[in-house]
């Protein structure tokens, strides 16, 4: 299409949407498009809702233009992406690592093979540590080869942003000239110009998504990169309003994670939501070349979570120390206590966060007591909702009940309560930073329902609950399961989340059956609900919200 007719390549991108719809699985939901591609500064092209969108509405399915290894990764098979323990099998034509003969023709491997086979050189894996950059040239090469082999994909790829002007001269750019451009053109004689390769590398750097799944028919996990043009058109927001799910054939399903108003942008998160403002903004600037100015980044309290805040160290103050200017591009603005105005240097905060990262990184996997040790060490230094403490609670919520010698049945009541506390505190933060449909929320709700039910059953066995209270506790667990299923409903069955969703559906059915049975049980199974005990018992469960509601005072909080 002539450039004048489509100056922003919007039509070109809509064409890809049509291709994706054709390529997506037959069962994938088809819906009317409720958004348009528009150009809005400073974002560039972005997706804008043309009508009200409800939570869970399917927005689109997106097929990848191309997939391939990440810039750095462990040894993998270039055909099926399975991780390899050793370099035992080399492609018979190009000598690159594969898992076996069948993968010589699998996936996109024939693309790079057609270039490397002209000058076969077995890559020297022994020279690299884990997570090496041996593979960094593969995906840019695959992109370049689309030009001849898949022209439709090539024209979509060239419609995408590469920020060459902003990338040129950066440290990353300089490294890529050696590892990618020279490697392909000088070592392997690729008939391309440096500009063409840099453009492909740029499109990948600015637009790629990490994709994680299992090799079909196995439990072998893979982690690669994929170029999803429609997903890439969504602007970034540190508290986004969409949720994406990788389907079995590597197409991406995108749904609204919460209601989206007409005129609002559909947004995705390009970075990790459980990291602090300084880190997210640094990462976005380094990798995506913009300074994020979303509501969360502008707010020193990060939407009331105090996710980066420290506890004030001045005796008895009890205030929270936050950045005086989180938007500062130099990250040098001092931090200040919101009560006593005590100041802390930004550098000190950064050093403290790094120190905790290093301590956490040294912990062996699944070591509950070590995580608890670091939590105790820093709990009076950091705000209770600081990202490090919430990150540790996330880890603990998954470990208690799931590791050897700490299975759910082996936990003490104290440990069960700790698991419950960790899940609840994580959910509180997620409600503020990532409300609606999310994998993390779905999994955490599942983790929370089990110990709650276990405690309720224990108390029932001890005849320590009235019938009403036991039913209320069962109802709470059922509600958690319902919400978990809502969050994980789009996950494919082959994924861990899809499996949990299926298990949650089974547990919910069972639980509802048990509740019906409990209704029929006689009083001999329960604690007597004496007139004195009744109100006191109810009081324990009351919240401030309940009290305000009963007095009909609106809660302005």
Ligand X SMILES: C[S@@+](CC[C@H](N)C(=O)[O-])C[C@H]1O[C@@H](n2cnc3c(N)ncnc32)[C@H](O)[C@@H]1O
Among 206, 239, 411, 508, binds ligand X (CB under 6 A): 206
Q: Which is nearer to ligand X, 28 or 166 (CB)?
A: 166
Using the rule CB under 6 A, give the single segment among 227-235, 354-362, 452-460, 489-497 that binds ligand X.
227-235
CB of 200 to ligand X, least distance (A): 15
Tell me how crowded residue 428 is: count the other CB atoms within 10 A of its CB. Answer: 13
One symbol per residue from 486 to 525: x for binding ligand X (CB under 6 A), - otherwise; what is it?
A: ----------------------------------------
161 near ligand X, rule: CB under 6 A: yes
Tell me how crowded residue 387 is: count the other CB atoms within 10 A of its CB. Answer: 27
Using the rule CB under 6 A, give the single segment among 20-28, 40-48, 119-127, 418-426 that binds ligand X.
40-48
Task: Specify whether the CB–CB gap between 298 and 326 falls below 8 A.
Answer: yes
Which has the closest alpha carbon to 99: 110, 112, 115, 86? 86
43 near ligand X, rule: CB under 6 A: yes
CB of 85 to ligand X, least distance (A): 35
Task: Specify whether the CB–CB gap between 446 and 484 falls below 8 A.
Answer: yes
Tokens 């401030």 belong to residue: 544
One symbol per residue from 83 to 112: x for binding ligand X (CB under 6 A), - otherwise; what is it?
A: ------------------------------
Which has the closest alpha carbon to 230: 31, 65, 5? 65
Which has the closest alpha carbon to 250: 52, 430, 65, 485? 65
Using the rule CB under 6 A, give the single segment among 43-51, 141-149, 360-368, 452-460 that binds ligand X.
43-51
Task: Specify whether the CB–CB gap between 247 and 60 falls below 8 A.
Answer: no
Which has the closest alpha carbon to 378: 339, 347, 341, 352? 352
CB of 43 to ligand X, least distance (A): 5
CB of 90 to ligand X, least distance (A): 35
203 near ligand X, rule: CB under 6 A: no
**The dihedral sign for the CA sequence 259, 264, 268, 269:** negative
Half-sphere CA count of 322, side-chain side, radius 13 A: 24
Among 233, 255, 368, 420, binds ligand X (CB under 6 A): 233
Among 20, 34, 45, 139, binds ligand X (CB under 6 A): 45
Q: Which is nearer to ligand X, 143 or 232 (CB)?
A: 232
Among 7, 18, 32, 42, binds ligand X (CB under 6 A): 42
Q: Which is nearer to ligand X, 298 or 366 (CB)?
A: 298
CB of 41 to ligand X, least distance (A): 9
CB of 12 to ligand X, least distance (A): 11
Q: Which is nearer to ligand X, 268 or 321 (CB)?
A: 268
Chain residues 288-317 in contact with ligand X, contact rule CB under 6 A: 288-290, 292, 294
Distance, C-alpha 493 to centroid of its chain:
18
Q: Which is nearer to ligand X, 278 or 353 (CB)?
A: 278
Using the rule CB under 6 A, give the single segment among 106-114, 232-240, 473-481, 543-551 that binds ligand X.
232-240
Chain residues 131-160 in contact with ligand X, contact rule CB under 6 A: 160
Using the rule CB under 6 A, give the single segment among 283-291, 349-357, 367-375, 539-547 that binds ligand X.
283-291
Task: Specify whether the CB–CB gap between 382 and 389 falls below 8 A.
Answer: yes
CB of 65 to ligand X, least distance (A): 13
d(CA 210, CA 69): 10
CB of 261 to ligand X, least distance (A): 18
CB of 298 to ligand X, least distance (A): 12
- Beta strand pairing call for 44-49 and 58-62: unpaired
235 near ligand X, rule: CB under 6 A: yes
46 near ligand X, rule: CB under 6 A: yes
Using the rule CB under 6 A, give the single segment among 36-44, 85-93, 128-136, 345-353 that binds ligand X.
36-44
Which segments of 347-503 are extended strands (E)? 402-403, 406-407
Residues 6+ apart with CB under 8 A from 226: 64, 66, 67, 208, 209, 211, 250, 252
Q: Which is nearer to ligand X, 232 or 309 (CB)?
A: 232
Tokens 């500064």 belong to residue: 41
6 near ligand X, rule: CB under 6 A: no
- Beta strand pairing call for 267-268 and 310-311: unpaired
Which has the closest alpha carbon to 290: 163, 433, 171, 160? 163
Among 225, 236, 281, 527, binds ligand X (CB under 6 A): 236
Q: Which is nearer to ligand X, 293 or 493 (CB)?
A: 293
The torsion of the CA quartet 366, 369, 375, 380, rounded to 10 degrees, works out to 180
What is the DSSP code string of 445-472?
HHHHHHHHHHHHHHHHHTT-S-HHHHHH
14 near ligand X, rule: CB under 6 A: no
d(CA 243, CA 247): 13
d(CA 291, CA 166): 13
What is the DSSP code string of 46-115?
EEEESS-B-TT-EEEEE--SEEE--SSBSSB-TTT--B-SS---B-TTT--B-SSGGGGSSTTHHHHHHH
CB of 292 to ligand X, least distance (A): 5
Q: Tell me which residue has its CB nearest to ligand X.
A: 44
Judged by the rule CB under 6 A, the positions of this chain that interact with ligand X are 42-46, 160-161, 163, 206-207, 232-233, 235-236, 288-290, 292, 294
């Amino acid at each position: 299409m002539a450039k004048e007719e489509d100056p922003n390549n919007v039509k070109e991108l809509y064409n890809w949407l049509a291709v994706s719809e054709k390529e997506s699985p037959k069962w994938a939901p088809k819906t009317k498009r409720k958004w348009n591609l528009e150009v809005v500064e400073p974002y560039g092209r972005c997706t804008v809702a043309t009508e009200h969108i409800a939570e869970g509405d399917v927005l689109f399915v997106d097929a990848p233009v191309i997939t391939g290894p990440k810039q750095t990764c462990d040894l993998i098979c270039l055909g099926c992406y399975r991780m390899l323990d050793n370099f035992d099998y080399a492609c018979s034509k190009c000598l690159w690592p594969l898992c076996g003969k069948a993968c010589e023709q699998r996936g996109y491997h024939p693309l790079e093979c057609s270039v490397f086979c002209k000058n076969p050189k077995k890559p020297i894996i022994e020279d690299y540590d884990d997570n090496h950059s041996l593979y960094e040239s593969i995906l840019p090469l695959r992109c370049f080869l689309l030009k001849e082999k898949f022209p439709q994909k090539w024209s979509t790829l060239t419609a995408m942003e590469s920020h060459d002007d902003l990338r040129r001269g950066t440290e990353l750019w300089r490294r890529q000239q050696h590892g990618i451009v020279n490697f392909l053109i000088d070592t392997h004689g690729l008939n391309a110009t440096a500009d063409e390769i840099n453009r492909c590398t740029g499109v990948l750097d600015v637009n790629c998504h990490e994709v994680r799944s299992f090799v079909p028919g196995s439990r072998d996990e893979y982690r690669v990169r994929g170029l999803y043009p429609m997903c890439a058109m969504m602007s970034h927001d540190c508290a986004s309003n969409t949720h994406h799910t990788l389907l079995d054939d590597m197409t991406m399903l995108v749904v609204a994670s919460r209601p989206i108003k007409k005129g609002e942008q559909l947004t995705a998160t390009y970075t990790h939501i459980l990291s602090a403002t300084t880190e997210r903004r640094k990462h976005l600037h380094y990798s995506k070349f913009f300074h994020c100015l979303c509501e969360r980044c502008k707010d020193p309290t990060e939407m009331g979570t105090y996710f980066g805040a420290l506890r004030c160290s001045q005796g008895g103050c009890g205030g929270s120390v936050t950045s005086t200017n989180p938007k500062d591009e130099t990250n040098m603005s001092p931090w200040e206590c919101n009560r006593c105005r005590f100041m802390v240097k930004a550098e000190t905060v950064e050093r403290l966060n790094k120190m905790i990262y290093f301590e956490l990184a040294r912990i062996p996997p699944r070591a509950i007591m070590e995580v608890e040790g670091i939590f105790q060490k820093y709990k009076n230094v950091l705000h209770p909702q600081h990202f490090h403490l919430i990150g540790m609670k996330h880890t603990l919520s998954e470990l208690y009940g799931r590791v050897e010698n700490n299975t759910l049945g082996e936990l003490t009541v104290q440990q069960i309560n700790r698991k419950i506390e960790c899940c609840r505190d994580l959910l509180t933060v997620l409600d503020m930073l990532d409300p609606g449909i999310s994998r993390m929320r779905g999994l955490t709700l599942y983790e929370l329902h089990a110990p709650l039910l276990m405690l309720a059953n224990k108390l029932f066995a001890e005849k320590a609950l009235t019938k009403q209270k036991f039913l209320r506790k069962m109802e709470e667990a059922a509600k958690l399961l319902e919400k978990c299923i809502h969050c994980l409903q789009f996950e494919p069955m082959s994924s861990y989340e899809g499996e949990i969703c299926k298990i949650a559906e089974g547990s919910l059915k069972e639980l509802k059956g048990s509740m019906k049975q409990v209704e029929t049980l006689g009083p001999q199974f329960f604690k007597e609900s004496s007139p004195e005990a009744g109100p006191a018992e109810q009081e324990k469960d009351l919240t401030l919200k309940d009290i305000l509601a009963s007095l009909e005072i609106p809660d302005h909080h």
